[in-house]
Amino acid sequence: MADHNELGELGERMAQRFLLSNAYKILDVNWQYGHKEIDIVAFNNNTLHIIEVKTRKQDFVERPQDAVSLKKQQLIIEAANAYVIKNKLDYPVQFDIISVVTNPKFQKFEHIEDAFYPRVRRF
């Protein structure tokens, strides 16, 4: 497995532990809809949380959360819509990012709630 895949999996495991320790119920991990993926689907405080996890070894070039571009947000939103429909859910949906920076000398973890919102297209 490539180093970046192992790093990503480490970040996702750290995020899951954090969520569980904060009373979130994890419903799905790495849920796929076509080529789109939701890293973590969790439930907390009567809200469905769609969580993108970004992990890096350092953050002085780019913070992990900055890698969640508008295009990536759109893909996550489309997958979340499919998830809600498939599972017939009727809860508020919130899009979060968990940013993880981890290396042998340093570790930084940040849960960014309501990190982005679905946008209405205006033509």
Query: Which domains are seen in the chain, by residue range?
Result: 3-115 (3.40.1350.10)
The closest alpha carbon to 39, from 6, 71, 66, 13, belongs to 13
Model pLDDT for residues 69-123, shown as the tens digit of each residue: 899 999 999 999 999 999 999 999 999 999 998 887 888 889 999 999 886 554 4
As a whole number, mean pLDDT of residues 15-43 equals 97
Model pLDDT for residues 30-41, shown as the tens digit of each residue: 999 999 999 999
* Three-state SS at 92: coil
Calpha distance 56→99 (Å, rounded): 8
Calpha distance 43→96 (Å, rounded): 12
pTM of the model: 0.87
pLDDT of residue 102: 82
Contact status, residue 26 vs residue 42, Cβ threshold 8 Å: yes
As a whole number, mean pLDDT of residues 42-49 equals 97
As a whole number, mean pLDDT of residues 16-39 equals 97
Calpha distance 7→9 (Å, rounded): 5
